[in-house]
Amino acid sequence: MKKLPLIVVLAIAMQALTYWPAALADMSHHHMLMDERGMVMNANSDKLPQDCQAISETVDLTIHAGQKHALAFNGKMFAFDQQQWDVKPCAKINITFINDDHIRHQLMIHGLPGYLYPDGMFHLELYGAGELKASLIVPSQKKTYLVHCELPQHMEKGMKAQLKVAGGDGDLPSIPGISAPIKADHYAIDWQQSTLFILLVCIIAGLLLPFIAVTLIKSKSKPL
């Protein structure tokens, strides 16, 4: 293998020196921490919201995400293992986020004060099965915060919940098992002749099979 000319090596080195600081700067916005497992954005374990004098309570939440948690809800594909949490005003919440699937899932909380959480967002993300931990401190305002996965169709297919502070200010729409959907799923049946024939056969079989079974039992029970 031929050795690279010195000028080529220097050019590659200069490009790397130019690229990596910019890449690291991109990764540091929103207080982002990232590795090969996932990402944490806007974690806050010690800065109080402006309307809080002190932390009122410390709450440890373990939140699972995955397909198996959607089995409790008809027509849903993804879900958290719980759909609602309630904490006191000015509570510190320590979240352990566990992805039970081998696909990417997120846990995002929206509507938080922007001076503490850029874009009003707290974000945990796992690229596959695994676990992440991070904390946040909620304001004193009585409010219901959206908790969801922002990946395409994950929220629409069930991965949506709500975090209530001091009981919240009402339920958000389309929370599985809690509130009615804005637009309910509709699975229309294509009533063709073959569909009606199969349905008719099933009904007749359902009526005849018990009669046949009783007749056979009676015939076997008769003395020879």
DSSP string of 28-61, one letter each residue = HGGG-EE-SSEEEES--SSPPPTT-SS---EEEE
Per domain, the residue ranges of the chain are 37-165
Task: Let me know: does 29 contact 62? Beta carbons within 8 Å.
Answer: no
State residue 193's pLDDT score: 80
pLDDT higher than threshold 70 for residue 186: no
* CB neighbours of residue 75 within 10 Å: 13
pTM: 0.71
Please state the φ and ψ torsions of residue 215, each to the nearest 5 degrees.
Answer: -60, -45
pLDDT higher than threshold 60 for residue 25: no
Q: For domain 37-165, give the CATH superfamily.
A: Cupredoxins -  blue copper proteins (2.60.40.420)
State residue 198's pLDDT score: 85
The percentage of residues in the chain with a pLDDT greater than 70, rounded to a whole number, is 83
Q: Supply 19's token pair.
A: 């690229």
What is the per-residue pLDDT across 40-97, written as a single tens digit (0 to 9) for each?
999 999 999 999 999 999 999 999 999 999 999 988 999 999 999 999 999 999 999 9
Helix and strand numbers, DSSP H then E, in the chain: 2, 11
State residue 212's pLDDT score: 83
State residue 192's pLDDT score: 80
Exposed, middle or buried, 209 (CB in 10 Å: 0-12/13-18/19+)?
exposed
State residue 216's pLDDT score: 78
* CB neighbours of residue 223 within 10 Å: 3
Of the spans 4-13, 111-120, 207-216, which averages the highest pLDDT?
111-120
Torsion region of 206: left, alpha or beta (phi above 0 gives left; psi -120 to 50 gives alpha): alpha
State residue 174's pLDDT score: 94
pLDDT higher than threshold 80 for residue 31: no
Q: Measured between alpha carbons, how far is 193 from 179 in angstroms, rounded to an integer?
A: 38
State residue 181's pLDDT score: 85
What is the per-residue pLDDT across 1-18, written as a single tens digit (0 to 9) for each?
455 566 655 656 555 555
State residue 71's pLDDT score: 96
The alpha carbon dihedral of 159, 160, 163, 164 has a sign of negative
Q: 């008769």: which residue's tokens? A: 222
Question: If pLDDT is split at 50, 70 and 90, which confidence band does 23 have?
Answer: very low
Q: 């401190």: which residue's tokens? A: 137
